[in-house]
Amino acid sequence: MTKYQTIDVNGLNIFYREAGDVNKPTLVLFHGFPSASHMFRDLMPALADNFHLIAPDFPGFGQSSAPLHTEFDYTFDHLAKVMTAFLEKLNLTKFYLYVFDYGAPIGFQIAMTHPEWIAGIISQNGNVYQAGLGDKWATRQDFWDHPTAEKRDSYRNAFAPATIKGQYTFGTEPGKVSPDGYTLDIAYTQTPDYAERQLDLIFDYQNNIKRYPQFQAYLREHQPKLLAVWGKNDPSFIYPGAEAFKQDDPKTRVELVNSGHFALETHAQEIADLIKEEFAE
């Protein structure tokens, strides 16, 4: 049974889902954009017999506090610091880590800072390599190199309803994606200041790419057991990003599933089975 809880972290209410037996190994699940911990709603029950599962919503996402962007630094470095404090408050200092999309730079920054915490990593379309960047990133590079208010405004289409639905359905078989996830994500876009905080994060994403060499150095030095399971039809983080983990971490297993960016929407059970094969005790 999944429980839904909130904890105060540095004055922020951080919402999280919890399932499974606390005596089992812990698996922390970090969501991506434009979603929140509800993206794990099918995966968590499939893993609850084998793991103690914790899935938080980042600040500014889902049910967690969302301070105004003028009062809170919406950067990935700051989100990683808040999530570090969240883990410390729950006394989670040894766990498996599942990272997806935005969760990857946040999770890898934590892993790099606290390598002793990490028992293993599942990266599901969670990229830390140039090889994994799809075509859209060239346009973003121009925005980062030559930012203007007009270019910033153009990225409001990143969270338009049609764009969000497309993130869920592109690269998937017709009729296989439930509307539940993208409908909730679209609803969250209507919350106050949503656009501005997300635009801040889009601009800051450039710093994640600059940290890729540091993340890769962490993998080479510590070589955690790593499962890279990828929706192979994802246009944002293309599957060579999954294969690239092998060049730095020989303990990597790569599995490609016939899905898009939100692979859990169509392949939650298959991904759960892979996680159990690799990490369940």
CA distance 126 to 107: 9
CA distance 32 to 58: 9
> Catalytic site residue 261?
yes
Which structural domain, as residue segments, surrounds residue 233? 3-279
- Residue closest to 94 by CA, chosen among 26, 180, 14: 26
Condensed to tens digits (0 to 9), the pLDDT of residues 23-71 reads 999 999 999 999 999 999 999 999 999 999 999 999 999 999 999 999 9
- Residue 281: pLDDT band (50, 70, 90) is confident
CA distance 122 to 225: 9
Residue 81: exposure state from Cβ atoms within 10 A (0-12, 13-18, ≥19): middle
Q: Work out how many domains the chain is built from and give that number.
A: 1
Query: How much is the pLDDT for 136?
Result: 86
At residue 277, does pLDDT exceed 90? yes
> In the chain, where does DSSP find H-type helix?
43-47, 76-89, 103-113, 136-145, 149-154, 161-169, 180-188, 194-222, 240-244, 264-279
**Which of 31, 38, 52, 261 is the catalytic position?**
261
Q: What is the CATH number of the domain that holds 80?
A: 3.40.50.1820
For residue 22, give the 3-state DSSP assignment: coil
- Residue closest to 128 by CA, chosen among 260, 227, 237, 33: 237
Condensed to tens digits (0 to 9), the pLDDT of residues 217-247 reads 999 999 999 999 999 999 999 999 999 999 9
The model's pTM is 0.98
CA distances from 205 to 48, 123, 187, 202, 238 (A): 33, 18, 23, 5, 17
